[in-house]
Amino acid sequence: MTDTISTVSLAIAQERKIVTAIPGPNSIALQKRREAVVASGVASALPVFAERAHGAILVDVDGNQFIDLGAGIGVMTIGHTDAAVVAAASQQLRELTHAMFTITPYESYVRVAELLAEHTPGDFAKKSVLLNSGAEAVENGVKIARSYTGRAGVAVLDHAYHGRTNLTMAMTFKAMPYKTSFGPFAPSVFHAPGSYPFRDGLSGADAAARTITYLEKSIGASDLACVVAEPIQGEGGFVVPADGYLAALQEWCTANEVVFIADEIQSGMARTGRYYASEHFGVEPDMVLTAKGIAGGLPIAAVTGRAEIMDAPHKGGLGGTFAGNPVAAAAAIAVFAEIESRGLLAEAARIESILKPAMHALALKYPIIGDVRGIGAMIAIEVVQHGSLDPNPAAVAAVTAFAAQHGVILLSAGTYGNVIRFLPSLAISDDLLREAVGVIDEAFASL
Ligand code: PLZ
């Protein structure tokens, strides 16, 4: 660096430390200000305000240090304030903050598209468009699929989450809190049954047959532009489809010239130990959607797909003021480099090898833990009423609240609000993970 602005991240000891009541006085004061001016429809999971973070630790405004098992919903995959990301973004901020790619293009946008072409599944010519958010990537994926096929229909799966814009609300499964009172929604969106082994007990082949029957009988392939599926559902509760399900669905899409779109916004970018979760299921989607973890916390998203599909829209049909912003693009390039140079794909397997056995052990101790599932650094437990499949959201709310009080950020998920999901940074140490598991154990014991 040639000038005096420091781009080095402030190191924060990687330890849990609670020094005030939760929330502390500074958080309480900020909460009062917030209530006066921030729309109350915006809710927060924890009662504390964040001040800074590094690695797997987040520090609040009262100096409490939390083990972050949420990572901003799977965004800080390579760790908070990663030094390489901070350096790349800071440098770019000073050289070219914004130009607008559709006015004067710049190299970093092209570089991100090259990296996406290289790291998304499938060995075929690919192209990308860059956007600002996950929902915007979903919207653009649908636009491009419609333009390519000349068809309108969009099929999604039960329990899916695709965003909060009008089209993506229509594509999202859960009414409360995402859709209630916000309609009318975009038309031509169809919700098909998917694969949820813990609840439906179906094999991949049987679940796929059920989905395909719905697609053929209730929509008709000739009216369908695309099927959009999360390879592992995120907000839906880290639902891993049964073996063979996704491959059968993709095969049907290919046979019927329907674009198969993998929404990898939560499951992608190294979270499961591969760049994209699709790779675990042997599928090569026609289009892959990326956001969240791609740029270490800076807002950027992408649609990447087969070149012939991506080139369907007319010139000028795709874009956006901030889309593919140079600072976010520089951060994304640094994230790809960090994943390679630090061997971060392997870290996901390390995290799974600690969390999964630990959760199975807790499930033996606390039988309300009905299911342990997930891949890599995307692990969840589903909590039920003892001896049944009936959801137990009250226990999940109590456990996550207990964890917050004891310095662990735990996120819930699931259509029934009865899933606890772990999506820590790949940089989290074994010791911090084990310590967090200890707090979760105490939380279940306290019920
Ligand atoms: N597709 C699979 O997980 C975002 C939403 C949190 P945006 N999930 C977290 C909330 O309460 O808003 C998500 C996702 C999948 C699309 C999206 C949407 O991504 O960047 O939030 O628009």
Measure 230 CA to ligand 1 centroid, in angstroms.
11
Domain boundary among 325, 341, 357: 341
Nearest atom within ligand 1 for CA of residue 291: 20
Last residue of a domain, one of 341, 359, 386: 341
Query: Do residue 48 and residue 93 come from a single domain?
Result: no
- Both 205 and 271 in a single domain? yes
Domain shared by 90 and 239, yes or no = yes
CA of 162 to the centre of ligand 1 (A): 6
Residue 2 has pLDDT above 80, yes or no: no
Looking at the structure, tell me whether residues 328 and 347 fall in a common domain. no
- The structural domain count of the chain equals 2
In a shared domain, residues 108 and 174: yes
Q: Are residues 51 and 98 in the same domain?
A: no
Q: Is the pLDDT of residue 5 over 70?
A: no
**Cis peptide bond N-terminal to 424, omega within 30:** no
Dihedral (CA of 79, 417, 48, 406) sign? negative
Could you tell which of 235, 269, 290, 294 is best to mutate to test the pocket of ligand 1, judged by most ligand atoms within 8 Å of the CB?
Answer: 235
Pick from 341, 375, 410: which residue ends a domain?
341
Do 286 and 410 have their domain in common? no
297 lines ligand 1 (CB under 6 A): no
Residues 352 and 246 in one domain: no
One domain for residues 235 and 359: no
State yes or no: pLDDT of 1 exceeds 70: no
161 in contact with ligand 1, CB cutoff 6 A: yes
Counting from 1 in the atom list of ligand 1, the atom nearest the Cα of 73 is 9
Say if residue 202 is in the same domain as residue 245: yes
Split at pLDDT 50, 70, 90, the class of 10 is: low
Residue 176's H or E segment, with its range, is none
pLDDT at residue 198, rounded to an integer? 98
H helix runs in 46-82, sequence order? 71-74
For residue 92, what is the domain's CATH number?
Answer: 3.40.640.10
Q: How confident is the model at residue 4 (pLDDT cuts 50, 70, 90)?
A: very low
Summarize pLDDT for 153-178 with one digit per residue, the tens.
999 999 999 999 999 999 999 999 99
Tokens of 189: 């969106």
Beta carbon of 234 within 6 Å of any ligand 1 atom = yes
Q: 373 lies in a domain? A: yes
Q: Is residue 2 part of a domain?
A: no
DSSP letter at 293 equals: G
- Residue 301 included in any domain: yes
216 assigned to some structural domain: yes
Give me the amino acid identity at 235: E
Q: Ligand 1 pocket, 134 CB below 6 A? A: yes
| In a domain? residue 46 | yes
The whole-angstrom separation of Cα 75 and Cα 261 is 21
Whether 18 shows a pLDDT value over 50: the answer reads yes
Q: Which tokens is 133 given?
A: 């958010």
Segment 197-212, tens digit of pLDDT: 999 999 999 999 999 9
Q: Do 272 and 378 fall within a single domain?
A: no
d(CA 65, CA 50): 10
Task: Give the integer Cα–Cα distance in Å for 158 and 152.
Answer: 20
Q: Which residue is closest in CA terms to ligand 1's atom 6?
A: 73
pLDDT single digits (tens) 78-121: 999 999 999 999 999 999 999 999 999 999 999 999 999 999 99
Q: What is the tens place of the pLDDT at every residue in 345-373?
A: 999 999 999 999 999 999 999 999 999 99
Whether residue 8 has pLDDT greater than 70: no
C-beta of 238 in contact with ligand 1 (< 6 A): no
Q: What is the pLDDT of residues 409-434, one digit of tens each?
A: 999 999 999 999 999 999 999 999 99
Banded model confidence at residue 11, pLDDT cuts 50, 70, 90: confident
Range of the domain at 380: 7-78+343-445
Task: Give the per-residue pLDDT at 366.
Answer: 98
Tokens of 354: 């600690």
Asked if residue 22 belongs to a domain, the reply is yes
Is residue 277 very low, low, confident or very high in pLDDT (cuts 50, 70, 90)?
Answer: very high
Evaluate: CB of 263 within 6 angstroms of ligand 1.
Answer: yes
Q: Is 135 in the pocket of ligand 1 (CB under 6 A)?
A: yes
**What is the CATH number for 29?**
3.90.1150.10
Give a yes or no: residue 1 inside a domain: no
Q: Is there a contact between 233 and 277 (Cβ–Cβ < 8 Å)?
A: no
Domain co-membership, 319 together with 197:
yes
Question: Does 246 map to a domain?
Answer: yes
Most informative mutation of 179, 265, 272, 276 for ligand 1 (most atoms within 8 A of CB): 265
Nearest-angstrom CA–CA distance, 175 and 300: 27
* Nearest partner of 380 among 197, 156, 192, 178, judged by Cα: 197
